[in-house]
Structures are given as structure tokens and as C-alpha cells.
Amino acid sequence: MVEIGGGRRLHLVRAGPEGAQPTVLLEAGSFGFSADWSVVQARLAERGLRSLAYDRAGLGHSDVGPAPRDGLAIASDLEALLEAAHEPGPILYVGHSMAGLHAHLFAGRNRERVAGIVLVDAITPTSAEGAAAQRIAAQYVRLSQVAAWAAGRGLMRPFARFGDSIGLSTEGAAHKRWAFAHGGHNRAAADEVVEWEATVRQAKAAGPLDPDWPVAVVTAGPARVGQRQRALMAEPARASRHGYVVNVAAANHASLLGRRYAGAIVAAIEHVRGMANRT
């Protein structure tokens, strides 16, 4: 638990050897937290890579944060966490799902300490635009609010055994199932999702990723399904001078992080790390 100011604390998980650079920063998607990355962190540590995963405000074990919980609030908290934890970087930023927006915003605010980016089946400012994407986002906002309401009344507890859709190891899976039914965790997650439109605007305003940064994109799902969306997701890597794109057809949005498919994420991180150390 790291105090970031005002008495608030965020939960940080470190793995891997001290001094290994760049430091891999793992940002979970909506409703996700540090446990989502437990398999990836273990495999990175086995390869001698240092990584950090954390719980955003109100999620997992972290203290709640002030409203609104938009992208700017999340980026400010992360910057404060890295400073308080004495983790100056350079940072290799890895974002899953909605954290693709956080990746763009953090990178735009911290260009001097970003070594590279890995986007894991991640939303980008471009892929979040358009009428279809906005309809899906509106539906997701309503669903997240229902989940928070149900969890706050204990209605999710009978279904907690289904909480690990990733396929984590024993400890990570137990932590994920706990969060699935936890009222506070779900309320904080819904508060982030409600700020979806603001976060998209903020990520877009941060500007495009630097083409000199190595950027990898890892997507999931059958190659013939969702081709247009997958192409939009891949744009940041296509725009990079050191881009890397891979699709894991047998994985889905969640299982991509789990025991069966995490190797694709680790390979992408190693590619970006190698390119960052060459430039």
C-alpha cells in the first residue's frame, strides 16, 4: 500500500528483479485490477523483466478517490503513485481493454519517460469514435451500473465462482472472484465507466503516440470476425516505426491475459523492450 497524498493509498504489486529497465507498467481494463496481470507478471519475472501492476482508486485493495473518475484523475493518481513508490522509469506501458485510452493519456503527459507501449485488445481514441462504438459504450455504462447495484446488495455472491473469466493461477483466481462480488470494487469500476466519454475526449486531446516509440498491439478472436475494429486497434502499431501486431485467434478478450495465452503478451513486451533498448 503506497500513500499518494491526502492520506489516500493505492495497492501496488512489484515483480521481477530490481534495476531491470525499462519497468513494465501493467494497467488493467474496466472492472480489472492488479490480479488480472498475475500470470503475465510471473512470466515476465521468469525472464528477468521488472513489472508493476496496481489497483486504481476504489478497485481491489486501493482507497477510493474523489469524483469524477475520468482519465485525468486516473493519470494523476498513477503519476503520484510512481513518484511515491520511487519508480521514475523509463516506463513500458501495457494497457488492456479500456486502458488503451489511459495509455494514450499517460503517454501524452509523460513523453520523456515512456520507452514503449503495448496495447492488449485495447480501445483507442479512434476505435472509440463513431455511432456504433458510442451505442456499445452507452450499453456498457448501463450494464456497469447494474453490476454495481447488484454487487452492493450482495446479489453477485452466488455467482462469484464465475468471476475469473481470464484463467488465472490459484491465488490470482481467488482474488478475481472476490472482486467480482465486492460492492465497493464494482461501484468504483462503474464510476470509471460512467466517465467513458470524458476519458475518450481526454485521450484524444493528448495527441497520437510518438512514431519513434516501439508500439505493439495484441488482439484476440477469430481473424474473420471484427476485422474493422481490429484494424482500428492496430493503427497505433502501424503508425510506429517499430510496430508489432499479432492476433491470438483462439483467445477472447479476457482469456488473452490468462495461463493459456499470456505468452503472446509477454512476447509483445519483449519485442517492445528490445526495440526500446536499441533506440
Would you say 237 and 214 are in contact if contact means Cβ atoms under 8 Å apart? no
Fold of 2-128+200-278: Rossmann fold (3.40.50)
Write the pLDDT tens digit of every residue in 212-271: 999 999 999 998 777 888 999 999 999 999 999 999 999 999 999 999 999 999 999 999
pTM above 0.85, yes or no: yes
pLDDT tens digits along 116-145:
999 999 999 999 988 888 898 899 999 999
- Give the pLDDT of residue 279: 67
Write out pLDDT tens, residues 32-88.
Answer: 999 999 999 999 999 999 999 999 999 999 999 999 999 999 999 999 999 999 999
Task: Determine the pLDDT at residue 227.
Answer: 87
How high is the pLDDT of residue 20?
Answer: 83
